[in-house]
Amino acid sequence: MSATVEAPKAFARGADAEKLIEVVGVSRRFAKRLDFAGRIAAKLGAPLRDEVVHAVDKVDLTIRKGEVVGLVGESGCGKSTLGRMVAGILPPSDGTILWKGRDRTGLGAKDARAAMLQAQMIFQDPMSSLNPRLKVAEIIGEAPLYHGLTTRAGFSAYVDEQMRRAGLDPVFKARYPHQFSGGQRQRIGIARALAVQPEFLVCDESVAALDVSIQAQVLNLFMRLRGELNLTYLFISHDLGVVEHLSDRVVIMYLGRVVEEAATETVFARANHPYTQSLLAAVPKIEARKKSFATVKGEIPSPLNPPAGCHFHPRCPHAFDRCRVEVPALKEVAPGHRSRCHLNDLPDHGGMPV
Ligand X SMILES: Nc1ncnc2c1ncn2[C@@H]1O[C@H](COP(=O)(O)OP(=O)(O)OP(=O)(O)O)[C@@H](O)[C@H]1O
Of 186, 183, 205, the C-alpha closest to 290 is 205
Identify the residue among 14, 38, 76, 306 touching ligand X (CB under 6 A): 76
Footprint of ligand X on 11-70 (CB under 6 A): 30, 33, 53, 55
Of 303, 311, 231, the C-alpha closest to 52 is 303
**Quick one: which segment of 77-85, 128-136, 141-149, 311-319 binds ligand X (CB under 6 A)?**
77-85
State which residue, 70 or 73, has the beta carbon closest to ligand X. 73
Q: Is 77 in the site for ligand X (CB under 6 A)?
A: yes
3-state secondary structure of 87: coil
Contacting residues for 343 by C-beta, under 8 A, at least 6 apart = 274, 318, 349, 351, 353
State which residue, 83 or 141, has the beta carbon closest to ligand X. 83
3-state secondary structure of 251: strand
How many Cα neighbours within 13 Å face the side chain of 180?
Answer: 24
> Per this entry, what is the length of the chain?
354
Q: Is 78 in the site for ligand X (CB under 6 A)?
A: yes
Q: Is 303 in the site for ligand X (CB under 6 A)?
A: yes
Q: Is 257 in the site for ligand X (CB under 6 A)?
A: no
**Side chain identity at residue 83, one-letter code:** G
Q: Is 243 in the site for ligand X (CB under 6 A)?
A: no
- Cβ 312 to ligand X, closest distance in Å? 15
List b or e across 186-200, with b for residues whose CB sees 16 or more CB atoms inside 10 angstroms: bbbbbbbbbbbebbb
State which residue, 35 or 348, has the beta carbon closest to ligand X. 35
**Quick one: which segment of 73-81, 148-156, 239-247, 323-331 binds ligand X (CB under 6 A)?**
73-81
**Quick one: which segment of 59-67, 79-87, 129-137, 210-218 binds ligand X (CB under 6 A)?**
79-87
Query: Longest Cα pair distance anywhere in the chain, in angstroms?
Result: 69
Number of residues engaging ligand X in binding (CB under 6 A) = 13
Residues contributing to the site for ligand X (CB under 6 A) = 30, 33, 53, 55, 73, 75-81, 303
